[in-house]
A and B are shown apart, each in its own frame.
Chain A
């Protein structure tokens, strides 16, 4: 797949449903074939590593952060010959579910993980 136009409606969507709709994703089914690689606790809410991998023949990924003002953080386009794998770093204002979306054979699927953003301090 070639890079698509910057999807204004999706990136400016204010809720998960708005973003799903703008992506044409319907309500994606949760799938064990989608793996989200991310920490349980963010070391720094401004730099949270998030990765997606799948064994599906995927051509498009997306990362959504439920509690961010605009949930859609990024979309990725995976041409054939490129592995269904990506890692990037995102900003999170507060503890939130993070969604990894994968589009394969025209169908969107997803995995969800809660990433905690804490004030920090203290220790043993």
Chain B
């Protein structure tokens, strides 16, 4: 039986939590209402800003003809594949760097330069090499892979040396250390990297679609801008926001599952 004081504490906590959510929703609603009224009362030019009721209209229109969700799906697909590729490549390279200190030392300055280089500048190269369809993937992976390598490598370095000493005392090979200690101990680092990766890969995908593509949210945004259809631009941006929320949600579910499975304390 919880004591009355504890019950009171729980009640207050719950009320506070509800208040936070309520305020968030009110903030969003107030923003939308203000936007709508500002356009109606001609405080701003609705040609330039559009307005929520118009957005809703064009969302329904676009959704009806089905093309909106096709564009969302294409961007989502590109992002997921981009994340998978850069996680896989990043982990492999980080493993190589751990395996061979020599390779890691040799490649260190190149990593620094690649990390600092604005990857967007590589856009034309990807377009020429990969064509308009696959250059999006090139851009997505280019933007996220270097950070992935660096984060996972740092994760490996964080794992205590004495844990590896223990493995060594049993005569473990490097492969065994990797499989039995480094990879399972890095699960929290993988999750943290994945979180960063979702954001970066999405930037890469949209950037890639800006530069060259025939579909996707990035394409839709650029197209809407070119034909001066602010409704289309804004609806696409809203869909992009929803897409990133969905991706973060998936990562959070994965995180909860992995922490439970591997007993990593949060």
A and B: bona fide binding partners? no
